[in-house]
Amino acid sequence: MNDSAGTDGNSSYGHKPFKRSRSHFADRVTADGRDGWPVEAGRYRLVASRACPWASRALVSRRLLGLEDALSLAVADPLQDDRSWRFTLDPDGRDPVLGIRYLSEAYDARERDYPGGVSVPAIVDVPSGKLVTNDYQQITLDLATEWTALHRPGAPDLYPEPLRAEIDEVMEGIYRDVNNGVYRAGFADGQDTYEEAYEALFRRLEQMSERLADRRYLVGDTITEADIRFFTTLVRFDAVYHGHFKCNRRKLSEDPVLWAYARDLYQTPGFGDTVDFHHIKQHYYRVHTGINPTGIVPAGPDLSGWLTPHHREQLGGRPFGDGTPPGPVPENEAIPTAHQP
C-alpha cells in the first residue's frame, strides 16, 4: 500500500484509468532459501499499516498461523508525509528493531534511487536492514506454505493443496472486482470509468453473496486465504469505501449474507483483533486529499454492529479445520479499546 502515489498498494492514477502496478521487489522468503532469503525465526520484520487492506492480509495470516514470535511486527503511522510510511507511533519516531524513521530507508538499503513508491506490507531483513519483498500477493501465500516449520501447534492450513485451483479462481475475481475494484471506482478520472468499476464491484459482491448463502466459507468448510483477502475489503466497506470511494449502491450492512459472513470472520480470533478502525478512517480521509480535500473524518458509521450475533455457525464449517484458534494477542500488539467497536 503506497499512498505517496495517492492510493493503496503499488499503483498509479491520473488522466487515465486507475492501474495497480506489480511489486518491484518480489524476492521470496522460502524454506529452502532459493532467493537467498531462508525462513529463519527472528531474522525478518514485517512492516505493515493497520489502515491498509493489503497489509492487513499479512496481519491476519500471521496471527492465525501463530508467527508472532518468529516474524516481528512494525506498525507504521496511518498518516504519511512526503517520505511515505513512517514510524512516528514508536518512541522517538524510530522503529525500535530496524532503527529507522521511514520504511523508505529499508528500500534505499536494498536499491538506492528506486523510482517506485514505498508500499506495505514489506518484509525487511533485520541484520542488513534491507527490504526483502513488498509482493503483497505472495507474502501471505508464503507465510502459509513456506513458513510451516515455524507455525504454532494447531495452525490452520490456509492454502490447502487440493483446493488451490478453486481458491486461486475465487481470489482472482475478488481481487479484480472487489479488492482492486473499490480503488478503480474511488480514483476513476471519468464517469464511464467509475461506472464500469462500480458495476463490476457490485456484480461480484452479489455473486459472492449468492455463493455464501448456504456455505460458511468461500472454499471448502474452513477459513482459507480467499476469506482473508475478501474480509480485508469488507471490513473497510461501510467505514470508507461506501462514501469515500463512492461505492454506494448499498452498504455491507444492507446485504444480510455478506454482513453476517463478515461479522463471523470479525468475531473469529485472528481477524477482528487485528483491525483498527481509527487507523483506517484517519488514513483514508486525511491522506487522500484529492478525494477529500477538507481532511474531515466522518464521525460514523456506528461500529457496534460488528459484535452482534451472526448465526453463521448454523451452516456448519470448521473455522480452523483440524487445528485450533490462535492464542491471545501479544500485549504490545493489542488494538486500543477506543479504536474498536
Give pLDDT tens digits for 155-194: 999 999 999 999 999 999 999 999 999 999 999 999 999 9
Q: Span 318-325, mean pLDDT?
A: 97
Q: Note whether residue 76 is domain-resident.
A: yes
Instruction: Please check the confidence at residue 141 and state whether its pLDDT lies above 60.
Output: yes
Is residue 116 very low, low, confident or very high in pLDDT (cuts 50, 70, 90)?
Answer: confident
Is residue 152 very low, low, confident or very high in pLDDT (cuts 50, 70, 90)?
Answer: very high
Q: Are residues 176 and 45 in the same domain?
A: no
Residues whose CB is less than 8 angstroms from the CB of residue 40 and which lie 6 or more positions away in sequence, other chains included: none
Instruction: Please check the confidence at residue 224 and state whether its pLDDT lies above 60.
Output: yes
Q: Are residues 40 and 187 in the same domain?
A: no
Q: Note whether residue 214 is domain-resident.
A: yes
Angstrom distance (rounded) from CA 304 to CA 285: 21
Q: Are residues 102 and 177 in the same domain?
A: no
Q: Which of 99, 131, 150 is the last residue of a domain?
A: 150
Q: Are residues 141 and 47 in the same domain?
A: yes
Q: Are residues 11 and 137 in the same domain?
A: yes
Residues whose CB is less than 8 angstroms from the CB of residue 327 and which lie 6 or more positions away in sequence, other chains included: 66, 152
Q: Which domain holds residue 27?
A: 3-150
Q: Which of 100, 119, 150 is the last residue of a domain?
A: 150
Is residue 113 very low, low, confident or very high in pLDDT (cuts 50, 70, 90)?
Answer: confident
pLDDT score for 114: 84
Q: Are residues 16 and 120 in the same domain?
A: yes
What is 131-191 written as a DSSP string? EEE--HHHHHHHHHHT-GGGSPTT---SS-GGGHHHHHHHHHHHIIIIITHHHHHHT-SSH
Angstrom distance (rounded) from CA 63 to CA 78: 20
Alpha-carbon radius of gyration of the chain: 19
Instruction: Please check the confidence at residue 19 and state whether its pLDDT lies above 80.
Output: no
Q: Note whether residue 321 is domain-resident.
A: yes
- Which domain CATH number covers 11? 3.40.30.10
- Which domain CATH number covers 265? 1.20.1050.10
Q: Which of 97, 124, 150 is the last residue of a domain?
A: 150
Q: Are residues 26 and 96 in the same domain?
A: yes
Sign of the alpha-carbon dihedral angle for 269, 231, 143, 3:
negative
Give pLDDT tens digits for 165-174: 999 999 999 9
Please, what is the end-to-end C-alpha distance for the chain in angstroms?
Answer: 24
Q: Are residues 165 and 290 in the same domain?
A: yes
Instruction: Please check the confidence at residue 277 and state whether its pLDDT lies above 70.
Output: yes
Q: For the chain, list the strands marked E by DSSP.
A: 11-14, 16-20, 44-48, 72-75, 122-125, 130-133
Q: Are residues 254 and 138 in the same domain?
A: no
- The set of cell numbers assigned to 276 is 483498527
Q: Note whether residue 101 is domain-resident.
A: yes
Q: Note whether residue 105 is domain-resident.
A: yes
Q: Note whether residue 86 is domain-resident.
A: yes
Q: Span 237-250, mean pLDDT?
A: 98
Q: Are residues 82 and 227 in the same domain?
A: no
Q: Are residues 200 and 168 in the same domain?
A: yes
Q: What is the pTM of this model?
A: 0.94
Query: In percent, how much of the chain has pLDDT > 90?
Result: 91
Catalytic residue list = 52, 183
Q: Are residues 215 and 307 in the same domain?
A: yes
